[in-house]
Structures are given as structure tokens and as C-alpha cells.
Chain A
Amino acid sequence: MTRGIVDCDIHPNMASDAELLPFMPRRWADHLRDYGPLNHQGLAFALQHPRFNPGVARADSWPPNGGPPGSDLDFMRAHHLDAHNIDHGILMSLRPAGCDERNLDYGAAICAAANDWQHARFVQPEPRLHGGIMIPQEDPDAAVAEIERCVAKGGFVQVNFTPRASEPPGRRRYRRILECAAHHGLPVGFHVSGVPGHPSTGAGHLTYYLQEHHSNMPGMQAVVASLVLDGVFAALPALKVVLIEGGFTWAPALCWRMDQAWRRMRGEVPALTRPPSDYVREHIWYTTQPIEEPDRAEDLAEISGWVGWDRIMFSTDYPHWDFDDPRYAFRCPLTAAQRELVFSANARALYRLP
């Protein structure tokens, strides 16, 4: 491959929420200090399925000069961008989480500050890195305003939508946000995240982190079913969606199930004029990590063909523990053309990168 790689999932990090303060108006900086987040879960600051690794990170990703993994741009450059020949990295800020904050105005202030922080600390100093716009999605007016603001500012290539929201993303309350993203030609990235108060599965709350980690994958299926069957793509033909960190080999089977049920019950969803799988094929992209590892490596190639090689984009999830190394992620042989699509061309085209 002559060109370098595009990594569609890199996590910038901050040493503490205090790094946001310079980017917040006094009113909300005071709120952060005096009140803090109001969550849909029992714990205020920690996750209820404690993770398996400090910082949820690769043990070798702690910057030598201190701070948590992902917080030191110089170290990220050497350890990741240079080491893996990465031409472009798409940033995915995860905290602090303004998007599911119950105090909507505070959530909006957090998102705006996190976007400015991301821009100042990573996007501006490093041309290889591109921002994702964090939005207070439970307040569509504010979310739209934040997208407009960031578009004007420049440096952002995606709108980040939390897949675990109060309601499925296809619900009408969110439509304006998706419409705004489509209008600006920005893909909407759904990266595993969000604590909406719902159990992580329809079967109820889970016991182990192992289950919680696994539930990201069926969670992504719920996102797809909602967007497709609630008519989002039928209404917004220009919308492009990226599913990040949910894997991809499940997509064909979900399409088969949707198509089968739609053939019986299409009377309920007249807005869908084509089989659900058509909308999926046209509107949805997938990032690879954490890549599926079939017992027979060739199964991965076969299913990738069913999904569509033009829709699969490599990602590492750096610096998180379930990182994929670009050299070894695919255990099945790829043709040169497939490799070019997955590691570079698909993402360059989608995010309009050189």
C-alpha cells in the first residue's frame, strides 16, 4: 500500500475534567465544580461494570511523562500515528459525557467545551487528527446549534451520536439532528457509549463486564433496526452512518431478519419502499475493531463480502485495551484492492480526506 492508513477510532483523553474549565463559561464551570453530573445510574463517577484494565487502556499506552493514555499528543504521535503509518485518525472523545446529562443546559455546555478542548489540544496541533462533534442529543435545538458552531470552526469530520440514548436514534425527536448532519455532509458516528438507564439488554441488567462488553454488538443492531425501520434513511437519503466499535459480521444476518419480517409487516411501515437491507447497504459503514475472530479465518472474508468491502473501515480504538493492530487484525488474506478499501480508501471517501 502506497498511502498510509486511516484509523477511524482514536480516543483523546484528559487528565481530569478540570481541563475543560478554560473552555467553559463561568456559569457552567461553577456548576461543574459545585454540582457535577446527574446520571441515569447509581454511581456518580464510576461505571457500574468495573473494567478490566486501568484506564480501560492497553497496559503499554501510559505516557512516560504522566497523564492517562491518550492524553499526551506527542506520545500518541510516536507510539501510534508514526508507528503505524497513520495518515488520518478520526477522534472519538468519550468523556466527560455531556450527551446523556439530564441537566440539558449543562450537557450542552459540557459538549461545547469538550469540542473546543479537542480542537485546541489535538486537531489544531496535529493535522493528521480530525474531530468528532459531541452533541447534547437530548436537546435537539442545542445539538443542532453545536453542530453549526463546530462546522463554522472547522476541523470536524463527523457528528458523534451516543447509541445508548434515552430513545432509539430513529425516533422522531432526534430527526433534526440527523438532518443537520446530512445537510453538512457529515457522517453520524455511533460509537459504543451512553448510560441511558435502560438495561444493556432486553433480557435485563448484566452481571459481568464480559457481558457488558459483549452487549455493545447487539446494541449496535438495535441502532440499525431503529434507523432503518423508523424510516430515517427513507426520509434522509443523504445521511451516512458509521457504526464504531460494534464489529460488523452480524450485519448480514440482521438484514435477513429485517427483510423477512418486513415482507410480512410492511403494511406497518409504508415509508419504507424498499427492503430494509437496501437502506443498510446504502447508508451504513462499519469500523472493524474489535474485529471478529472466526475459528476459520476465511469466514471473515466471506462475510466481509456479504457486508460489502466498500463499507468496512479499519479502526484501532487506540489506546484502549481491545485495540487492533493494523498488521494483524485481519487473519484472513485480503486482496490488494480489499486492503486499500478497508485501510484507506473507504474512510478517505466518506470523511472527504486527501
Chain B
Amino acid sequence: MSRHVVARVSEVPPEGALRVTVKGRPIALFNLSGEFFALYDRCPHEGASLCAGRRVSIAVADTPGEYRLERRGEMIRCPWHGWDFDIRTGQSWCDPEHTRVRRYAVSVEAGERLAKGPFRAESVPVSVEDDYLVVEV
């Protein structure tokens, strides 16, 4: 396990996403109302980049015809065939038992602290004024 500085916090706008590469691995960063999450950015189905997907909620219905939304905007819909994944856990909605995308721990760190290490920040120049996203890979 190593911790990588991958982006400035401001690069992942509210309800937005950013694709970064860590150790050659594509990782999708998501901003969920100020909380940050990181998923392996390859759909387990046919490999689409989840970063390009749309944010959706979970649609539920206790009986046909009565629609209700839960978990507003907390799912990412794959840009290709529409499988939905829970941004928080990486779990698939259509096949929760067998299908999930790998999740990585993310933390927000102040640039000031990062300057001291032991983080790796190959691609992101760190300045003491900013906050950064750090992913554990």
C-alpha cells in the first residue's frame, strides 16, 4: 500500500468526477457533496470509463407504477450499457452479489502537511496553500 497525491481538491467539482492514473491504474475520483470517493475506473462489464457516466439515484418501487428515488445522485451509471454502481462502495445495483468495482480509500490532506511526506506526488505539484486528494493504492 502506498499513498498518492492525485489531484487538487478543486479539480473535482461538486457532483463531478475526475480520472487520474496511479501506478498505471485508471482511478475515478468522485465528489459527493463534498465527500470524496475513488473507484477503479473500468466498468467490470466491458471496460468503459465510469468517469464519463452520469450521476443517478436509485429508482425503487414497492408496486408497479409507483416510482420513488433514493440515494439522490449517489450512483454512477456506466456510460455504455447503463449498469449502475454505488459511488460509496463500488457495488453494482443490477448484480450486487457478484459485481463490484474496486474501491480505494481517499483522504483530503492540506498541502502544508503533504510537503512533509511520506506521500508520493509524482504528477501533482504540491503547494502549501491548497488541499489535495490522496488515494491509497
Contacts and interface: CB of A to CB of B under 8 A. Distances in A.
Interface of A: 52-53, 58-60, 321-325, 327-329
Interface in B47-62: 47-49, 52-54
Interface residues of B, number: 13
B77 to A, nearest CB: 8
Interface string B71-115: 000000101111000000000000000000000000000000000
A322 B79 CA distance: 10
Given A322-B81, A328-B47, 17 more contacts: A52-B82, A58-B48, A58-B79, A59-B52, A59-B54, A59-B77, A59-B79, A59-B80, A60-B48, A60-B52, A321-B80, A321-B81, A321-B82, A322-B80, A323-B80, A325-B46, A327-B47
Nearest to A62: B52
Nearest to A329: B46
Contacts, number: 34
Nearest to A290: B81
A59 B76 CA distance: 12
A102 B52 CA distance: 40
A53 B82 contact: yes
Contacts of B49: 60
A321 B80 CA distance: 5
A325 B47 contact: yes
Contacts of A329: 46
A309 B70 CA distance: 46
B79 A60 contact: yes
A16 B35 CA distance: 41
A6 B7 CA distance: 39
Nearest to A326: B46
A270 to B, nearest CB: 46
7 contacts: A58-B79, A59-B53, A60-B52, A321-B82, A322-B81, A327-B47, A328-B46
Contacts of A52: 82
A172 B49 CA distance: 48
A325 to B, nearest CB: 4
Rank and list the top 7 A-B pairs by shortest CB-CB distance, nearest first: A59-B79, A60-B52, A328-B46, A325-B46, A60-B79, A58-B80, A59-B52
A58 B52 CA distance: 9
Contacts of A58: 48, 79-80
Nearest to B51: A60
Contacts of B82: 52-53, 321
B64 to A, nearest CB: 10
B79 A324 contact: no
B70 to A, nearest CB: 19
Residue from the set A322, A325, A327 with the largest chain B CB neighbour count within 10 Å: A325
A59 B82 CA distance: 10
Contacts of B79: 58-60
A53 B80 CA distance: 9
Contacts of B53: 59
Residue from the set A52, A53, A329 with the largest chain B CB neighbour count within 10 Å: A53
Contacts of A60: 48-49, 52, 79-80
Interface in B30-56: 45-49, 52-54
B43 to A, nearest CB: 10
Contacts of B46: 324-325, 327-329
A322 B46 CA distance: 11
Contacts of B77: 59
A105 B81 CA distance: 39
A327 B47 CA distance: 9
B65 to A, nearest CB: 11
Contacts of B52: 59-60
A327 B48 CA distance: 11
A58 B54 CA distance: 11
B49 to A, nearest CB: 7
A340 B53 CA distance: 32
A132 to B, nearest CB: 24
